[in-house]
Structure 1
Amino acid sequence: MSASSSESASRAEGLHVRLQQGNVVLGLMLALDVISELEVLNASLQKSTQTVEGMVSAVSVVQESLKSKRTSDHFQEVFKEAEDMVEKLCLEPIALPRTHRPPKRYTGPAPAHRPASPVEFHRVEFYRVLDTVDTQITDRFMQPGIEALKELEALLLTPIENSTQNSVEKYPELQWEDLKIQLAMFKRKYPFKTTADVTKILQAMPVEVRGLFEQVDTIVRLLMVVPASSAEAERSFSGLRRLKTWLRSTMTQKRLNGMAVCHIHQERLENLNRRDIAQTFI
């Protein structure tokens, strides 16, 4: 590898040298300890049936779990696992990084603090990552707009007795007195658990029956404008990009549109009878 003069070989050699260092192994294990829980949260938030209340609850669970890792005992556990792996793979031992003397305008006349051991240094860095993640999650999910959406969703998914007129004052489209009557009728007639269930119920109604629940329909439209997860829309764009990249040159626009519809509505496509479809073209 080192004998080659190509740029790829040089990069591979540099990566190989880095991976021989115990500090890199420890950094990867500490990062995995945090990212693994964020990935679980990410997968949960991408469900099409996700609700705003459920999203906030899931975020709170992950936040509490990450905060519980901000202890010396947990760090020592991960540090010991990293040391064992470094010893097993015969890598360079975990050590303090090269010391950089900060400018005097930051430290003043006092000497700069220097960690006494690798454990002390990496523990501080690990805590810094946990604090940054907690701050970023709070900034993204604990906003006034999220609270307003929770109140709007609660109107639809919880008993109307638990809601007040203040919940609809921000929305001129909603009339409180009409909404109370229509929601009570709707909840007595149709069982549901999520906004997606309500949407399916309204779509299956005749126009005359749907007119009885005009305010319920308005709430659903408001919630659908700001969905709890944008993952489905992102996947649709990715699917269209793949179709255009790989298939566009070999098919007409009409066939491309048909392929896109089939890709987006895969669940409906799987429920179709293939034999009946084949009979159509025979």
Structure 2
Amino acid sequence: MSASNSESASRAEGLHVRLQQGNVVLGLMLALDVIRELELLNTSLQKRTQTVEGMVSAVSVVQESLRSKRKSDHFEAVFKEAEDMVEKLSLEPIALPRTQRPPKRYSGPAPAHRPASAVEFHRVEFYRVLDKVDTQLTDRFMQPGIDALKELEALLLTPTASNVERDAQRNAEKYPELQWEDLKIQLAMFKNKYNYKTTADAAQLLKAMPVEVRALFAQVETVVRLLMVVPASSAEAERSFSGLRRLKTWLRSTTTQKRVNGMAVCHIHQERLDKLNSKDIAQQYIQGKDRRREIFGSFT
């Protein structure tokens, strides 16, 4: 392919040259050291059963783990692993990148700083990534709005003891939709009658109630609605849109709008789709035409 003049050949050749460099191997290993934990956090935050309190706790655990990597011993272990891989694969050794001198209007007459070794240079860059990730997690998840959601969720999920009733009342009074005296009675009845651990569990209980019983917990339903309109994670909705984008990329040109809509619905409701009997669906498809019956036979 390298002898070809196509665009794909040029990209492949450039990628091959890059992957021969030890600096690229080290960069990938350092990035993987951070991304693996962020992927675990993403998986945790995308669960439907996630709570605001649990979300913040998971973020704190990941932050502590990433901060523990900001040590010379950890970096040198990853650097040694990368060096061993470079030597094993006979790649270009890890080296300092080419020095770029900043403009004099920024640095003045002082000489430009140059790291003494590749270890020193890459350690600084790795720490910079860790600091950036930590700052972004703090900015996104440690906000006043998150604290307000935690307080509202605590009304629903935390047992209301007498020593914290005053705090619960103060939290409830922040919302004009809530009447504390009614909410206090309804929460006591709801928590005594039903077992639930998340807002989603409480919502399912309310949906399954007869109208007359549900009317007894009008204030509890209001709390659930307030929490449900601000979900702990929007990843599920974002996944559905990205899935539709992927469908449009390579299927849309040969697929009707009706069929694209059907595939998008199947993608969004994967859990319900998994519960269907595939043999029944196949049998229904076969019975649509005689030609299909001749080709596929029967699934019963």
TM-score, scaled relative to structure 1: 0.89
> Is structure 2 residue 223 aligned with structure 1 residue 219?
yes
Counterparts of 2:93 and 2:26 in 1: how far apart (Å)? 10
Counterparts of 1:63 and 1:35 in 2: how far apart (Å)? 12
Counterparts of 1:26 and 1:138 in 2: how far apart (Å)? 27
Q: Is the 8 A contact 1:239 1:263 kept in 2?
A: yes
Counterparts of 1:85 and 1:218 in 2: how far apart (Å)? 58
- Residue by residue over 1:244-281, the C-alpha shift from the partner in whole angstroms, topping out at 9 and shown as x without a partner, is 7748976685x8766665554444455567899989x9
Question: Quick one: structure 1 residues 6 and 250, their matched pair in 2 at CA, closer, same or farther if it must change by over 3 Å?
Answer: closer
Counterparts of 1:95 and 1:252 in 2: how far apart (Å)? 54
Q: CA deviation at 1:6?
A: 2.0
| Alignment match, 1:128 | 128
| Alignment match, 2:14 | 14
Structure 2 residue runs without a partner (length 5+): 288-300
Question: Quick one: structure 1 residues 229 and 101, their matched pair in 2 at CA, closer, same or farther if it must change by over 3 Å?
Answer: same
Work out which of the residue numbers 232, 236, 239 in structure 2 matches 1:232: 236
Question: Quick one: structure 1 residues 211 and 274, their matched pair in 2 at CA, closer, same or farther if it must change by over 3 Å?
Answer: farther
Question: Quick one: structure 1 residues 276 and 208, their matched pair in 2 at CA, closer, same or farther if it must change by over 3 Å?
Answer: farther
Work out which of the residue numbers 157, 165, 169 in structure 2 matches 1:165: 169
| Alignment match, 2:290 | none
Structure 1 residue runs without a partner (length 5+): none
Q: CA deviation at 1:55?
A: 0.5
Question: Quick one: structure 1 residues 249 and 12, their matched pair in 2 at CA, closer, same or farther if it must change by over 3 Å?
Answer: closer
Question: Quick one: structure 1 residues 250 and 182, their matched pair in 2 at CA, closer, same or farther if it must change by over 3 Å?
Answer: same
- Residue by residue over 1:147-187, the C-alpha shift from the partner in whole angstroms, topping out at 9 and shown as x without a partner, is 11111001100012234222123210011111111000100
Residue type at the aligned position of 1:32: L
> Is structure 2 residue 116 aligned with structure 1 residue 113?
no
| Alignment match, 2:39 | 39
Counterparts of 1:102 and 1:272 in 2: how far apart (Å)? 63
SS of 2:173 mapped into structure 1: coil
Counterparts of 2:87 and 2:117 in 1: how far apart (Å)? 18
Counterparts of 2:13 and 2:105 in 1: how far apart (Å)? 39
Counterparts of 1:34 and 1:42 in 2: how far apart (Å)? 13
Counterparts of 2:35 and 2:154 in 1: how far apart (Å)? 31
Q: Is the 8 A contact 1:248 1:256 kept in 2?
A: no
Counterparts of 1:276 and 1:12 in 2: how far apart (Å)? 46
